[in-house]
Structure 1
Amino acid sequence: MLSFKGSSLFFCLGLPLATLASTPLSNLPSTNKLETIVVYGQQTKLALEAEQALTPGGVTLVDAADLYQRNVSSMADMLRYVPGLWVASGSTGDSSYFSSRGSNLDATNYDGNGIKLLQDGLPVTAADGNNHNRDVDPLNASNAVVARGANALTYGASTLGGAIDIITPTARDRAPLDIYFTSGSDDQFQGRMSAGTVSDSFDALLTIEARRWDGYREHQQQERESLYANAGWQFNNSVRTRLYFTYIDNDQELPGNLSRDQWKANPEQANPDNVIGNFLLNVETWRVANKTEWDIDDASSLSVGISYEEQDLYHPIVYSQFFSLLIDTVQRNTGTAIRYNLRQGSHDLLLGLNYGISDVTGGNYSHEGGRRENLTTRVDNSADSLELFLVDRWQFAPNWTAVYGAQAVSARREVRNIAVSSNIVRNPEADYDSINPRLGLIYQLTANVELFSNISKLYEAPTNFELEDDERGNEETLNAMQGGVFEIGTRGSQQLGTASEWHWDIALYYAQLKDEILSKDDPNAAGTSLSTNVDDTIHSGLEVLLGANFVLNDGSSIQPLLNLTVNEFSFDDDAVYGNNDLPAAPDYAMKGEILYRNTNGFFAGPTFDIIGKRYADFQNTYTVDSYKLLGLRAGLTGEDWEVWGEVRNITDENYVSLFSVKDVAAPDAAILSPGEPRAIYVGVRLQL
């Protein structure tokens, strides 16, 4: 069993979560006494719960065990029960549209900015903040942490939407052999096999995976092969290290968007231009990383990590008789993360540093049917980002904890595009610097209930995509978006009788932003966009996660779960848009299920989605209607196996999953991406 004595992430293992805010940190018992009681995987989960309890704002934990009891093929599936996020699966295989607390609500949603993605605390997001083609496999996780908005300070994230950290499974929390298969509608097949070994201070895990999918629309096929590996060594009682390797080769066709008339007539069709142009998104990625942890003594620890990634992109995306665009580039990302934790008396100090460097080289080409032809633009873009932060969690009185700190951000962006025909160079570049303070309070109301609040500064520099798309078209650069947010909330659990309980996680926030970066379509160049800063916007919302476990007389139980998000995102007395709503995100979204679980391992119950209306343009002239979906899932679990089945969209509702954003969307604009029709999936897992 590995020892985690002194680690900042594991200092509270074995303690009831509710005692964290009422027990002086100096009085916490040594984790050495717990090593024969708690297995590694459970230690990780308890540590993440402890970190959540010491965050005065919205943080949600995702247990990957549930992901093997339903169809999970994208991040939208994984994050189904995370409030505050609008994550919609598109019609492009694994790809999902992300928005957290109103991030990414514009025409450049393909860059996925506003959320920092990490694996094991190390960056996956590029240094300029874009998540374009980020390959994160939701099934290659043991847990995930979603820290929304400014609550991602302890991850060093300087983003409007926060951070998502995927915790990689190891051989210590997986069976020696783990086999998983799923199959379903539209010829979906997904298979993965993990094999691991543990020998004293050494462990290693290897996972191979493949996915095939024809898609529910024309020109939507996907083929993906992946390999994941990690190995860890415990050098002594104080020092341990882990190496990670990832390889993903993902090829997929892009069916494109439809007009409202096309969507209603036949949602399964592809946009004709996408078929003629053979639009593709082919990405080959490899990534290597290392993380080393040192327990200096009982009160302090140090963690150092580094990662390197290369990504080859082949992406025909625009085609007409006048203009075509194929992007063929290589992106390289290097990142490092350092964390020093010191517990002294009633203080728990965390000092962290993130540094990332990214560059993109290659070019834009014309193409014919997806075949690369003439080079039109040479691309040589670069970015770096330094995030330095200090947080103190100070229990200054019984049941009261103050969480305060600040983040220093220093970032550089440079776009260098050379037009081949004229040799004209466009080279916008800028530096971005900011200090972002944060102050929060946690009050332990009862043993299992806490109240929290915080006031924080928000800051996010533009991505290189946004600089490249600046509507001014010269060497001027966009301002960083920034503002302040106030948040209050509560989380906890309450017993109902002797066996039943219910739990909740509720946050209410209000943010005012200045210079929010928004992009609209370029009317003179289909498939491209124009970015600009807008003066003032408001982002506010209610985030609710409710769940319960009602135990019946025979020991079986009813387990309802509800994710409710209410959004209010709008301009604030804008000279052009007045107080219009921002597009893309629905005004409300409810996702839930009610499961019956028998003591013999059988479970079954309905699922539902109730999604409010959305606007597809800044002028609020084009409304995308609300929709309701009904599903059903069931399964049976044994000691070392489980099987499940799921039916989605039982009523075969024709709905819009996501869409492109315009300034003013014409009634016949081809901007809609249809959602998944009725579909059936089955899966089986063996752990030997």
Structure 2
Amino acid sequence: MFRTSCFSLPFYGTLTAAAIFSAATPHAAIGAEKPRSPLSQHAPPVPKTHKNPVKTEQILVTGVSRSSVLRRPAGQTTYSSDRSNFANQVGQSVADMVVTIPGVSFTQGNGPRDTNISIRGSGDRQSWGLKNIQVLEDGFPMTQPDGTARADLIDPHAYQGVDVFEGPASTLYGNYAINGAINFRTRKGADIHGLELGSDFGSFGMFNNYATLGFGNRHYDLMIFGSDVRGNGFIANSRYNTSTENMRLRVNLTSSDRLILKFVNNVTDAFLPARLSLNQYRANPYQQGCTNASSAAAGCASVNLLVNGRYGTKVAMSPEEAGLGRFDRRTVVGLRWEHDFNSHTIWRNQFTYDQRHIDQPTSPMAYVGPYNSYNVSSDITNHAQLAGRALETFAGVNFDYLDFGSQTYNIMPLGDATRGAMNSESYGHQWNLGARFQEDWHFAPDWHIVAGLGGTYSDIGATETLYGYSATASTQRVITANRFYFNLAPEGALIYTPSKDWTLHTRVGTAYGTPSSSNLFITPQGEYGNNTQLKSQTSVGIDLGADWHPSSTISIQATGFYEFYKNELVSQSAGVNTVGSYTFNAPASEHRGVVLGVEWKPLPKMLPGGRVKLSYTYDNQIYTNYTEVLSNSTLSRSFSRKGHYIPGVIPNFLNARFLYDQPDGLLEGLGGYAEVTWRDSYWLDNANRLEAPGYALLNLEIHYDPPARFGWAHRLHWYFEVQNVANQTYIAGATNISDKLQANGQQAGATTLMNSTGSIYAGSPRAYFGGVRIRF
């Protein structure tokens, strides 16, 4: 179930974490168990009908750890999804974890688990990775200093839940939190209390074996997870094999000191089809009969490779012939020390090492290189009183550093992504030094106000060497970038809780995101070159929301948002046979919309196990000041994009689940759901000439957890599901494309743009999956 939280937790007198949580828990719409206290991983959930205005009484509870996992942004709309939403299904990717969260959408990236998660449209327009958000796991950063995060690391079987902080969030999360932040929470060893073994299997040769080991008590908590998933994919050249290991260990050294050790490792071995034009997609969405470019069927994509790997003649090859794919490794190690100075003050110090090593022949070029990053942070949280009312003060500093060296090579038409001559090489760094501060004052029984300020100084330095070849000579061209950015992010929020049934909140948040080094060296022509004029993007966002719990059977939460952007960084593809997407600044743009979540038990007496869950997002994003220059071989023209929709943003996204779990009787433990997901059509280009069509999908799931009275059988869980029941053909991911200037000086229409390649991946046809899990 998903839930929301719009402010952080107060602290009074000598409260421990459990007392804080039970005495003054923030409201949680869309009824579910409350989010864990930011001061305790072990605080028990509060009943979902619990809602109290803030009290000033003092409470003393002893014997509960005060370990803090992650600070929740005060006043910010926060949704969470817990394990009950995704543990009973196949759980192929992070999409299964967030599909029920309002304000969140997703598209298909480059690889089976490379899902592009988007908060209020933040990443819909990207071809890969998680962009414009900060990603954490158990409070450890999973976004590198250049803003890069990927979902390949995430096997949903390892997780207890996910928290999504929506809207500008740079005050607390710094650079790149332009649309918010996400924290993934792994399972606790004490909850597992033993060994779990599981297997998933299904269509297109998918097979996932996984194991989870967990133990814990008040002195320590250990969780170890490992999985290996493989499959053939439903598109030509999309077979894959991905392994993931995940571990978290908490040790209470003393009553005041805790150590948390985190380890994640992922190896992605995935072959990659080429993205299609809209015409190719309509002719052959799954790229059948495309193994050989010379005898390919209609609608097949190909890449043009230099015969000698250096210059001259090119030959078209299919992705399978060329050996396109992603063969990457990611390793993250983190250590956090938490110290309680007293019952009022917690100090946290954290270090994270993150290595991303890529080998990606994803186009006519192969990208190779390590990206090593280091993150150090220290923060302190103090609970006191001001004028007899609770005051929480938070302050922290952080420093992260990325050191990289990467090369690109021309791919030769010899198969297995054989490398030819080096096309370019880049060496450089990026570091961010930041500080953040926030005050949360409960100035009246039903009110509290939040004010904060964060800032980051960023240094990006890189040198790129471009190599050119001919029959008689080789050339080199060096491009150097050394950019410095300083950004501030103030915020303020006001929360009013007039009764246990209502919470009203408003917030003004700000955020920023600097370009990354990779943005600085690809020109609008899709070639390597100088693009170093890019500025930081900044935003100011206003949220106004309400949570309403009229009864124990229904919860409703709605938030309206209006965000003003300056120099928004937007990326577009120049085609499949270019080196990649290019990035530009749109001087001014606006994002506005509504996020709605509902959970309802329509017949609590007749069908106590029945529920309806609905999440809906309306996201309207437009340019308010942007002039684009288009060129052909003879002329250039400027076109105003003012009032045009920003391409790649899904304007309407709806998920509705109709669930039933039998609570007692002979069929206790039997349950399932029917799910409908609808996405609206959306534009693919700045001129709004070409749309990606929308779609609606129906999924069905049934599962069985035998009750405890069945003895050993209680340890067994099984499920079966059907995805895309109606076998719809739909677009799972489409990146933005460039508009074109025709010879007569007019912009090309949809008929021409339908042939622009490098954009579309089809979604899965009807698929069947099942699985079994047993506990020891």
Q: Could you tell me the TM-score, scaled by structure 1's length?
A: 0.90
Inter-partner Cα distance in structure 2 for 1:19 and 1:637:
28
2:659 to 595, 613, 616: 595
CA distance 1:524–1:328, shift in 2 (3 Å): closer
CA contact (8 A) 1:91 1:675 kept: no
Question: Distance between the aligned counterparts of 1:251 and 1:310, measured in 2?
Answer: 17
Flag the 1:261–1:200 CA change in 2: closer, same or farther, 3 A.
Answer: closer
Deviations 1:546-597 (A, max 9, x none): 1123454366321111110001001114332121101112210101110122
Q: Is the 8 A contact 1:157 1:163 kept in 2?
A: no
Deviations, residues 4-61 of structure 1 (Å, cap 9, x unaligned): 579982278676788787324x64533426x4xxxx9xx999x98xx76x73232111
User: Could you tell me whether the CA contact under 8 Å between 1:542 and 1:566 is conserved in 2?
Assistant: yes
Cα separation, 1, equivalents of 2:140 and 2:391: 26
Distance 2:561 2:500 in 1: 25
Equivalent position of 1:611 in the other structure: 679
Change (3 A) 1:210 1:134: closer
**1:516 partnered with 2:576:** no
Closer, same or farther: CA 30–351 of 1 in aligned 2, 3 Å: farther
Instruction: Map Cα deviations across residues 591-642 of structure 1 (whole Å, 9 max, x no partner).
Output: 1110122111111231101111111111111111121111111111134332
Equivalent position of 1:338 in the other structure: 378
User: Structure 2 matches for 1:595-674, cutoff 5 A?
Assistant: 595-599=659-663, 600-638=668-706, 639=708, 640-664=715-739, 666-670=753-757, 671-674=759-762
User: Is structure 2 residue 560 aligned with structure 1 residue 560?
Assistant: no
- Match 1:224 to one of 237, 242, 245: 242
* Residues 59 and 151 in structure 1, CA contact (< 8 A), matched pair in contact too: no
Of 581-590 and 513-522, more deviation after overlay is shown by: 513-522
Query: Which residue number in structure 2 is paired with residue 9 of structure 1?
Result: 38
Q: CA RMSD in A?
A: 2.7
Give the conservation status (yes or no) of the 8 Å contact 1:305–1:336.
yes
Task: State whether structure 2 residue 477 is matched by structure 1 residue 447.
Answer: no
Give yes or no for contact 2:170–2:511 (8 Å, CA) kept in 1.
Answer: no
Q: Distance between the aligned counterparts of 1:481 and 1:131, measured in 2?
A: 18
| Matched-pair identity in % | 18
Residue 23 of structure 1 corresponds to 54
The change in CA–CA distance for 1:679 and 1:388 in structure 2 (over 3 A counts) is same
Give, as a single letter, the amino acid of the residue that structure 1 aligns with 2:149: N
Structure 1: runs of 5 or more not aligned: 320-324
Q: Equivalents in 2 of 1:397, 1:16: separation in Å?
A: 25
Q: Is the 8 A contact 1:470 1:478 kept in 2?
A: no
SS at match of 1:112: coil
Q: Secondary structure at the match of 1:428?
A: strand
Give the letter for the 2:530 counterpart: N
**Alpha carbons 1:90, 1:675 under 8 Å: kept:** no
The verdict on how the C-alpha distance between 1:63 and 1:580 changes in structure 2, with shifts beyond 3 A counting, is same
Rate the CA distance shift 1:649–1:468 in 2: closer, same or farther, 3 A: same
User: Partner of 1:494 in structure 2?
Assistant: 550
Q: Which amino acid aligns with 1:469?
A: I
Residue identity matched to 1:72: G
Residue 18 to residue 468, structure 1, CA distance change in 2 (3 Å): farther
d(CA) in 2 for partners of 1:492, 1:140: 32
Aligned residues: 664
Q: 2:194 aligns to what?
A: 176
Q: Distance in 2 between matches of 1:125 and 1:302?
A: 23
| Offset at residue 264 of structure 1 (A) | 2.5
Question: Residues 188 and 253 from structure 1, CA distance in 2 versus in 1: closer, same or farther, beyond 3 angstroms?
Answer: same
Match of 1:350 in 2: 394
1:279 counterpart residue number: 324
- Residue 542 (str. 1) matches residue 594 (str. 2): yes
Asked whether the equivalents of residues 613 and 625 of structure 1 are also in contact (C-alpha less than 8 Å), the reply is yes
Partners of 2:67 and 2:507 lie apart in 1 by: 26
Displacement, 1:137? 3.2
Contact 1:288–1:308 (Cα < 8 Å) also in 2: yes
Aligned equivalent of 1:207: 225
Any conservation in 2 of the 1:442–1:453 contact (CA below 8 Å)?
yes
The aligned amino acid for 1:426 is I
Q: Is 1:129 the equivalent of 2:144?
A: no
What are structure 2's unaligned runs of at least 5 residues?
Answer: 1-15, 21-36, 291-300, 304-318, 468-473, 628-639, 709-714, 740-751
Does the alignment pair 1:684 with 2:772?
yes
1:322 paired residue number: none
Judge conservation of contact 1:614–1:623 (CA < 8 Å) in 2. yes
SS class of match (1:70): coil
1:70-109 aligned at under 5 Å gives the runs: 70-90=89-109, 92-104=111-123, 106=125, 109=127
Moved over 6 A (4+): 5-8, 11-21
Question: What is the CA–CA distance in structure 2 between the aligned matches of 1:596 and 1:100, rounded to whole Å?
Answer: 29
1:265 is the counterpart of 2:296: no
**1:347 is aligned with what amino acid?**
L
Match of 2:82 in 1: 63
Distance 1:199 1:440 in 2: 38
Contact 2:522 2:531 in 1 (8 A): no
Q: 1:581 to 1:470 in 2, by over 3 A?
A: same
2:67–2:338 Cα contact (<8 Å) kept:
no
> Cα–Cα, structure 1 residues 260 and 431, in superposed 2: closer, same or farther, change >3 Å?
same
> Which one has the largest radius of gyration?
2
Indicate whether 1:373 and 2:420 are aligned.
yes
- Kept in 2: contact 1:21–1:399 (CA 8 A): no
TM-score, normalised via structure 2 length: 0.81
Q: What is the identity, as a one-letter code, of the residue corresponding to 2:725?
A: I
Q: Give a deviation string over 1:409-458, Cα, whole Å, max 9, x none.
A: 11122232112443322111211112211010110131143111011222
Q: Which amino acid in structure 2 is aligned with residue 267 of structure 1?
A: P
Given that residues 592 and 609 in structure 1 are in contact (C-alpha distance below 8 angstroms), is that contact kept between their aligned partners in structure 2?
Answer: yes
Aligned counterpart, 2:489? 436
Relative to structure 1, is the Cα distance of residues 396 and 281 closer, same or farther in structure 2, using a 3 angstrom cutoff? same
Residues 652, 293 of structure 1: alpha-carbon distance in 2 compared, 3 angstrom cutoff: same
> For the structure 1 residues 44 and 616, does the alpha-carbon distance in structure 2 shift closer, same or farther, using more than 3 Å as the test?
farther
**Does 1:326 pair with 2:383?**
no
Letter in 1 for 2:347: L
Letter in 1 for 2:500: A
Give the 3-state SS of the residue equivalent to 2:351 in structure 1. Answer: strand
Distance 1:604 1:13 in 2: 27
